[in-house]
Structure 1
Amino acid sequence: MSSRSVSSVSPAYSARTRSRLAALAVATASCATCAVVVTAPAHAATVAIHDIQGSTRVSPLAGQAVADVPGVVTGVRTYGSSKGFWFQDPNPDADPATSEGVFVFTGSAPTVKAGDAVTVSGTVTEYVPGGASSGNQSLTEITKPTVTVVSSGNPVPVTTISAKSVPDAYTPAGDSAANGSVNGLPLQPKKYALDYYESLEGQNVRIGSSRVVTASDPYTELWVTVKPHENATKRGGTRYGSYESQNTGRIQVQSLGATADFPVADVGDVLTGTTEGPLDYNSFGGYTLVARELGGLEKSGLTRETTRAQKSGELAVATYNVENLDPGDATFEEHAAAIVDNLRSPDIVSLEEIQDNNGAKNDGTVAADRTMAKLIDAIVAAGGPRYEWRSIDPVNNADGGEPGGNIRQVFLFNPERVSFTDRAGGDATTAVGVTRAGKNKAALTASPGRVDPANAAWTNSRKPLAGEFTFRGKTVFVIANHFASKGGDQGLTSQYQPPARSSETQRHAQATAVNSFVKEILKVQKDADVITLGDINDFEFSDTAKLLENGGALWSAIKSLPKSERYTYDYQGNSQVLDQILVSPSIRWKGAFQYDSVHINSEFHDQISDHDPQVLRLRP
């Protein structure tokens, strides 16, 4: 928002306002960045805030100058690039669709305070957080303001948001004549949750005791739900189970106060008492209660999960995104403890986001032997086995992720429990194939090898790593994946409904390529045990998952869990699936497997990765 400017040009004032200001001229305080005017030429009748907000998402006065807009200050933001204040008309109109509050962008710290009655003149502006290309809704504001304080110590009007006030339906479909935008549609705040929140944009709102559904993050924000029974998980979150299950009770909470005072909360904790402040809209989650008053915190006592150890005849295969791990990180001991203690030392671990030996330093380094040696030593120190590892170094800066980091997938395996079949020929650009080994037995032409690395589906993305393992004389094929991220997708609160998921295009192509490779294995060996796993960056109900499963070649085993336990990630108050382990028919139909999503990260403020690891125990 720093590109917006502030002007002290004084628009005209009405006769009514002029007479009030004349009486209060001596006592009037000045705003540091806004001129104080006590006289002005006459103009048309004063515009009220609800006239500015209107009954759609875009102000009917956008781009126009307004003068003498009255209201009471409800919150002041003195930090960041969006300094300003909110004010609200204590005398609302009869239309529930028109908000009575609006943000005034000053550009530098204003000196008004909550409870000040003010008049504001300026230009009505529609500001799109994140820019027009983000697809976000716009925030109605008054810019280039001139502010006059009329009195202080006035009551601050407030509206309570509760389970009863928020509709169950999330949003109307966008207007097909406007490329699917909802901007021009009349607001129906009693029918749709997004319309309800929009009808309160800029107003001072209050919530009562509310359960935390996304933990506090480094940016001093968290998410709560005002609907405690809405798709609740067993551990206190709110599950995202379909594209039609957006979970209407979720609200982001930030603070207008000192960051040191912000609660350190985990999922399942409760923000108790009253939390109150203006309802903002931003590019990092949409509608946000920017709290002038924060409630207390009641801890739920949530603890990190520990899975059970595999039995002697069970093969334990895990996937774990360790979030850009490189030798300079301080999280090796924690990751090692997670693998040894919480995952109980799986036999095979697919690691995603292993960086090269100097992390983000962009100097052409691609080897990751130092990263892996440090992790393996930490696992031994934590009481685990001395794992061996296999991987293929990528072409420098060809696989996406942090520039210079060269993230890749790596197989860890316990040589005391499982053996790896090394077969030469795999490199960053050579495609692994499938051949026949003996009667009706499949084998990889290279192990480890990369799946179809020249396919355009993998442009600037991680190429799948295939390996051949032996457990108790049985061959198991494992394919480690890290599909393209969801970056660039429109948010759930987008002006376009349903929001566009542009990143799906690449994941769909990736899923098709992996599915085709699995079918090559099954064509040679119908009963082959194939495990495809990793950070799929998409939901178990998504078309990406359906393309991976296409033709019955694979099945996402997280669907064996009760719905309330199906999640690996927590984003904007939605507990959701991004990490998956998919199995071939020989594993699925034998039914001799157990799946566990081990919740050690996603629900906690002190997470060492943003993903929870997954473990599959099976009897090949």
Structure 2
Amino acid sequence: MRRTAAALATVLTAGLAGGVQTAAAAEPSTCGTPADHQIAEVQGSGGTSPVSGRTVRVEGVVTADFQRSDQLKGFFIQDPTPDTDPRTSDGLFVYSAAEVAEGDRVLVTGKAVEYNGLTELSPVSAVDVCGKGRVAPSRVRLPLADGAEPERYEGMLLRFGQRLTATETYTLGRYGEVTVAAGGRLFQPTDGHGSTQAETDARKLLVDDGSNVQNPDTIPYTDPRVLRIGDSAHGLTGVLGYGFGEYRLQPTRKAHFANTNRRPGRPRHVGGNVRVAAFNALNWFTTLGERGADTAEEQERQLTKLIAALRGLDADAVGLMEVENNGDTAVKALVDRLNQAAGAGTYTWVKHPHPGTDAIQVALIYKPAKVAPVGAPRSSQDPVFDRPPLVQTFRPASGRTPFTMIVNHFKSKGCSGADGPDEDQGDGQGCYNARRVAQAEAIGEIADGSQNPLVIGDLNSYAAEDPVEVLTGGGLVSQTKRFVRPDRRYSYVFDGQSGELDHALAGKSLSQQVTGTTIWHVNSDEPVFLDYNTEFNPPGFYRPDAFRSSDHDPILLGLRLR
């Protein structure tokens, strides 16, 4: 389970007084007992209620009803006659099952409390329906101007008239959540797109489903098709709540996402007479119950998807990451199934001379009819490598020009066991950056001693981070940077931010013979509940195809070799 803190940002459209339009503002109240506090007085101008712990009586119009047991078990009200202080919210959550409907004017008595950061009334001793009213949604935009905080809109009915793009679906199946952003998908600040973390946070908004239920029976935004990162919506409307560390919009109108990021059925054409790929296989294990599949059913589902992805790539040589380090057992099982689909003997593999002691290793498979190994495979005994690289020189079966694949999987950004220079330095590069820099330096030396080097793999470093700059500073050329548009240059999504963790860097001479490069976006844009796992994933969504075969997108290159 992953929960991440993020800032929501909104700005009122010019011309709206306080952002609230009230068709019923002039109607006299029909509540027999007057309120003793305005909602704005309960909310206050800060992060917590100034009357927290006190029983108050407020009047408002019901703007959203989420009272069912599988919802929030309460409703939102808003003052149709707001105060003039823009710092105070005019909306409030009421934790109560008392029967109300949207548009009811109600008088509510209850204790003002802060529940996990949300100002609400709980417990509630009385809810009196005393008429009808209407509150129009405040028109807001992302990001919020002048450093204003979203707290001013907590509990209020809002409408986002701008186009907002889905930028994270990791918790869509588990909690019914999707993160959207203004100005298109969000990128990691260290990926070289020119944004800071603060600017990135200010552009995003979490959209929830009005429920705290895990694994909802109906997953939002999956009919008639599953939502992909990059799809977009206009006019999102709902009330702004808070919970689990962040502000969240609870929709009051069904959101419709346009299919603005269509699934790529096949990789883009890359040309050349030799096709080379890099693919993180997301813990392909033949041993059940370890990092990969837990059951034989899951293993079969995983293998089916991996084969679909490899068949779609149709590469002549593929560097693989996250293959179980159990000799040749896992890689052989993959090749055997691949050859069942592609034809006997279509692929074979390079035996890793020094796979290391980590639970996973890098691997290299190839088509012997297309490329032939030149010399024995190599690796490195340098203790800087957790997962030693696999180095193999090939030549085209119909040519003489050699090229050397250097397959890598650098140390991850996780902080377990990190100390000294490997601790997070607060520069956005995560833990173990010093280790990855040292690994990049060692790979640079291997590349310098190789014929036409091609450094590929999961470097666990975004495009503008130190390890990648070490490699490019040493003369290697990023092929994705040459051939892939900046807005399509990503292979992984973490915390709602896309970035390029997987790389293909060629020596200068080989770079001149690269005819094209693409990142096949079959994984990072797809919801996680489409993968091979059976836990928490509704069975109706599984397909025996390449989509969500991993959490990383594969890279494909074309080489014109004589």
Question: Do they superpose with TM above 0.5?
Answer: yes
Q: For 1:97, what is the secondary structure of its paired residue?
A: coil
Deviation, structure 1 residue 148: 2.0
* Equivalent in the alignment of 1:433: none
1:610 aligns with 2:535: no
Question: Residue 91 of structure 2 contacts residue 154 of structure 2 at CA under 8 Å; is this kept in 1?
Answer: yes
Alpha-carbon separation, structure 1, partners of 2:331 and 2:168: 30
Inter-partner Cα distance in structure 1 for 2:69 and 2:281: 33
- Mapped partners of 2:452, 2:315: distance in 1: 18
2:382 equivalent to 1:452:
yes
Structure 2 CA distance for aligned equivalents of residues 519 and 268 of structure 1: 35
1:55–1:378 distance in 2 versus 1, CA, 3 Å: farther
Cα 1:450–1:100 change in 2 (3 A) is farther
Give distance in 2, aligned partners of 1:256 and 1:565. Answer: 33
The answer (yes or no) to whether the contact 2:185–2:498 under 8 Å persists in 1 is: no
Measure the CA separation in 2 of the matches of 1:421 and 1:77. 69
What's the CA shift for 1:149?
0.8
Contact kept? 1:487, 1:503, Cα under 8 Å: no
How far apart are the structure 1 equivalents of 2:444 and 2:327? 31
Contact 2:166–2:185 (Cα < 8 Å) also in 1: no
When structure 1 is superposed on structure 2, of 72-81 and 377-386 the one drifting more is: 72-81
For structure 2, list consecutive stretches of 5 or more residues without a partner in the other structure: 1-28, 287-295, 417-423, 531-546
Per-residue deviation at 1:150?
Answer: 1.7
Matches within 5 A, 1:379-528: 379-383=338-342, 385-391=346-352, 395=357, 399=358, 406-420=359-373, 447-450=377-380, 452-453=382-383, 455=384, 463-472=387-396, 473=400, 474-485=402-413, 504-521=429-446, 525=449, 528=451
Superposed CA deviations along residues 307-355 of structure 1, whole A, max 9, x for unmatched, are 35666643x33222232333543032232122222x2x2222222233x
2:410–2:439 contact (8 Å) kept in structure 1: no
RMSD value over aligned CA atoms?
4.1
Partner SS, residue 208 of structure 2: strand
Matched, 1:197 2:150: yes
C-alpha separation between the residues in 2 aligned to 1:78 and 1:224?
Answer: 26
SS at match of 1:463: coil
Alpha-carbon distance between aligned partners in 2 of 1:515 and 1:79, rounded to the nearest angstrom: 54
Contact 2:228/2:526, CA 8 A, preserved across alignment: yes
Which of residues 280, 283, 294 in structure 1 aligns to 2:254? 294
Match of 1:325 in 2: 284
Q: Which residue of 1 aligns with 2:209?
A: 255
Closer, same or farther: CA 301–557 of 1 in aligned 2, 3 Å: closer
Pick closer, same or farther for the CA change 1:521–1:320 going to 2, 3 Å: closer
Query: How much does 1:478 deviate?
Result: 0.4
Q: Which residue of 2 aligns with 1:68?
A: 57
Separation (CA, whole Å) in 2 of partners of 1:408 and 1:143:
55
Contact residue 137 and residue 237 of structure 2 kept, 8 A: no
1:282–1:142 CA distance, 2 compared to 1 (3 A): closer
Match of 1:246 among 194, 200, 204: 200
Q: How much has 1:114 moved relative to structure 2?
A: 4.1
Which AA in structure 2 matches 1:611? Answer: H
Contact 2:477 2:505 in 1 (8 A): yes
In the alignment, does 2:304 pair up with 1:340?
A: no
Matched residue, 1:595: 517
Does the CA contact (< 8 Å) of 2:413 and 2:431 recur in 1?
A: no
Q: Which residue of 2 aligns with 1:564?
A: 487
Q: Is the 8 A contact 2:320 2:363 kept in 1?
A: yes
Q: Does 1:125 align with 2:101?
A: no
In structure 1, what residue type is equivalent to 2:379?
G
Residue number in structure 2 paired with 1:221: 177
Are the aligned partners of 1:122 and 1:145 in contact in 2 as well (CA < 8 Å)? Answer: yes
The 8 Å contact of residues 536 and 579 in structure 1, kept in 2 or not, is answered as yes
Q: Deviations along 1:539-583, whole A, 9 cap, x unmatched?
A: 21234433443x434343322232232122345654432322233
Distance in 2, Cα, partners of 1:97 & 1:409:
55
1:577 aligns with 2:500: yes
Tell me by how many angstroms 1:294 deviates.
Answer: 0.8
> For residues 152 and 336 of structure 1, what CA distance do their matches in structure 2 show?
64
Within the candidate set 205, 220, 228, 1:266 is matched to 228
Q: CA deviation at 1:76?
A: 2.1
Query: What corresponds to 2:84 in structure 1?
Result: 94
Closer/same/farther in 2, CA of residues 308 and 576 from structure 1, 3 Å limit: closer
Q: CA separation of 1:533/1:126 partners in 2, compared to 1, >3 Å: closer, same or farther?
A: farther
Alpha-carbon separation, structure 1, partners of 2:130 and 2:365: 65
Alignment partner of 2:279: what SS?
strand
Residue 601 of structure 1: how far off its partner (Å): 2.3
Deviation at 1:232, TM superposition (A): 7.1
Name 1:50's counterpart in structure 2: 40
Contact 2:444 2:471 in 1 (8 A): no
Structure 2 partner of 1:494: none
Alpha-carbon distance between aligned partners in 2 of 1:63 and 1:597, rounded to the nearest angstrom: 53
Amino-acid identity (%)? 23
Which residue of structure 1 aligns with residue 459 of structure 2? 536
Structure 1 portions without partners, runs of 5+: 1-19, 25-37, 39-44, 128-138, 168-188, 234-238, 357-365, 400-405, 424-446, 489-498
The aligned counterpart of 1:492 is: none
Q: CA deviation at 1:248?
A: 5.0
For 1:600, the aligned partner's letter is V
SS at 1:255 equivalent: coil
Alpha-carbon distance in structure 2 between the residues aligned to 1:573 and 1:240: 16
- Note the C-alpha offset of 1:596: 0.9
Distance 1:92 1:378 in 2: 66
Change (3 A) 1:537 1:123: farther
Of residues 106, 127, 149, the one that matches 2:127 is: 149
Deviation at 1:511, TM superposition (A): 2.6
Shift of residue 467 of structure 1?
1.7
CA distance in 1 between partners of 2:470 and 2:139 (Å): 41
Query: Given the two structures, how large is their TM-score scaled by the length of structure 1?
Result: 0.64
Q: Is the 8 A contact 1:65 1:122 kept in 2?
A: yes
Match of 1:303 among 263, 272, 286: 263
- 1:530 CA displacement: 2.8
Deviates more, 1:153-162 or 1:318-327: 153-162
TM-score by length of 2: 0.69
